[in-house]
Chains A and B, each alone.
Chain A
Amino acid sequence: MLKFILKRLLISIPILIGVTVIIFFLLNVVPGDPVALMMKEHISVDVVARVRAQMHLDDPAIVRYFRFLAGALRGDLGESYKLNRPVTSLILNAFPNTFVLALWAALFAWVVGIPAGILSAVKKYSLPDNLFMGFSLLGVSMPVFWSALLFQYVFAVKLRWLPVAGFEDWRYVIMPAIVLGWSSAGIIARLTRSSLLEVMRNDYIRTARAKGLHELPVIFGHALKNSLLPVVTVMAIQVAGLLAGAVITESVFGIPGVGRIAVNAIQARDMPLLQGAVLFETTLVILGNLAADILYAFLDPRIKAA
């Protein structure tokens, strides 16, 4: 087990380094002088040159990359051009909001997705099955920003049940969590359904039935445990995906999270902030995938052998 975890960890390191290389070179070859951008017009050429030298912008790209990498390892992601504050603290301040949103979205996805999947599998081709699978398909086919606007229109503007946007108490998190979690719920429901149906074809299920067990104990006592294996892995991957995928949801609902920082940074052309936010979110996804792999190996001893 330890060996497996170590091996997985070692694979993640070159991926993480590759990610930093891609982010750095994509964002640092961008045309346009950041100094000129920061200071707007009315500055003399030698002032620009001095500030460039201060910011080490004239060093070769490789040198700057290693400086960036060394800084990132120390938790120093540079300073925002526009807000003049350390990127790390801006991100860490925003992260709890993203985390709360992702957590509620994930909970919504599980609480809705798993029972819906089980019911769909047990009552295959019934009305609830078709209904659940239809909602699940809708979840992955709707643009998130559009479903967010629809929710705002119906529940905030027309019915006035929930606040339109902002992030103050629990009522503010309901709509964004559902909007963000919908597609995840759909994926989990489909996965639970297909996985349960697959498991139900096994010999040991036939044995359980043959010994006279009713359908419910067969499903909950024998089939469900095995069928949830792939579901749990996907759930772990999804949490990371939800943390990183909240970009649009955060923008529409005005939630001050990391995704919103990234969008604002793009609009303000604030390179260090964008760089930091993207690196942070991608690292989260890599760690989430790592956790999912380890969790899966932990739950299913057959994996380790492979």
Chain B
Amino acid sequence: MNDPKEQDLTLACCAAGTCEEEESIAPPSSFLKDVVIAYRRNRLAMVGAAIVLILFLMAVFAPWLTPYDPYAIDLEVMTEAPSWSHWLGTDQFGRDLLTRILYGTRISLVIGIVPTLLSMIIGTTLGLIGGYYGGKTDMVIMRLCDIVLAFPSLLLAMVVMYTLGATLVNIFIALAAVGWAGTARVVRSQVLSLKEKEFVEAARAVGVKNRVIMVRHILPNCLPALIVLFTLGIPGAILSEASLSFLGVGAQPPTPSWGLIVTSGKEFLFSAPWVAIAPGLFILVTVLAFNFMGDGFRDALDPYMKQ
């Protein structure tokens, strides 16, 4: 079966260079140690991790990093160019742009992580159930996946936001509603091959309950794939939120969402281009950093994903 989404994943693996060179890896000592060593060998992945760490620090310490308030309007300094007092300039309400971007880090990270986590939980549960029990249950779940995956994801998220209303929590719901199907498919395909393994058969032979087999024996073996899916899902969610906010169905003003700041800067592109350019750069760097991390995890976890 020629399945585009699954194919994408394998292709992405190839693109990351994992199927180009097969390095000989020393006999595994422990899962964690092995992965850490392999991950650290990847320079871009380390850069990604460093950037993500900095972003987290920015998000946590935002109030201490800037003397300004992200919501305080100061009409005396409207759309001022970058200067010593305002490093990235100010927006149309005289708010310090860097301050808004710093606080925006919080939104972007939460938006990146929460919906991705939600869709992982839904997708993993359904993928496990479908793959393990097979039959009608599996068919229903997989057809549901097909339907969700048939939608252009941004359009489906737009429709969900239209129905639920534009709030932060609804963005979580919209992105999770769109994102779970991909995870479910990957987990299911993993389960299908895992449930034929001897250790699962052995567990079943000694009378371990199905639920316990799924959670204790199969799920841990899906973890490498889930880690990669999670890390690579975050940048997707960040970009989606930015797009939704850009289209007016995501975060609402005056929330300092990066996508929203770019949108507000659109009108001053000629006179104050920094308002649109600076937050976009932050989106780009954040997305790149998570992509680097995801690629790094994928390469490091590759031996564990091939069963």
A contact set with B: CB distance below 8 Å: 11, 14-16, 18-19, 22-23, 26-27, 29-30, 124, 137-138, 140-146, 149-150, 152-153, 157, 190-191, 193-195, 197-198, 230, 233-234, 237, 241, 244-245, 247-248, 251-252, 262-263, 266-267, 269, 274, 278, 281-282, 285-286, 289, 292-293, 296-297, 303, 306
B155, B263, B273: the one within 8 Å of A244 (CB): B155
Interface of A (DSSP majority class): helix
- Report which residue of B11, B150, B152, B158 has the largest number of chain A beta carbons within 10 angstroms of its beta carbon: B152
- Report which residue of B8, B11, B265, B284 has the largest number of chain A beta carbons within 10 angstroms of its beta carbon: B11
A140, A143, A157: the one within 8 Å of B269 (CB): A157
**Which stretch in B188-196, B207-215, B238-246 binds the other chain?**
B238-246
Evaluate contact between B270 and A157: CB separation under 8 angstroms: yes
Nearest CB in chain B: distance from A262 CB, A? 7
Residues of B within 8 A of A266 (CB): 158, 162, 247-249
Count residues of B near A (Cβ-Cβ below 8 Å).
51
Evaluate contact between B4 and A194: CB separation under 8 angstroms: no
Residues of B within 8 A of A282 (CB): 150-152, 155
24 CB contacts below 8 A, A to B, read A15-B147, A23-B159, A26-B159, A141-B287, A143-B262, A143-B284, A149-B265, A149-B280, A153-B276, A153-B277, A191-B11, A194-B11, A194-B20, A233-B2, A234-B4, A237-B4, A245-B154, A248-B246, A248-B247, A262-B155, A269-B162, A282-B155, A293-B2, A306-B1
Residues of A within 8 A of B284 (CB): 138, 141-143, 146
Nearest CB in chain B: distance from A17 CB, A? 9
Residues of B within 8 A of A142 (CB): 280, 283-284, 287
Give the nearest-CB partner of B240 in chain A.
Answer: A143
CA distance A234 to B158 in the complex (A): 25
CA distance A296 to B143 in the complex (A): 22
Knowing that A145-B243, A245-B154, A282-B152 touch, tell me 4 more A-B residue pairs with CB under 8 angstroms. Answer: A16-B150, A30-B162, A286-B150, A289-B4
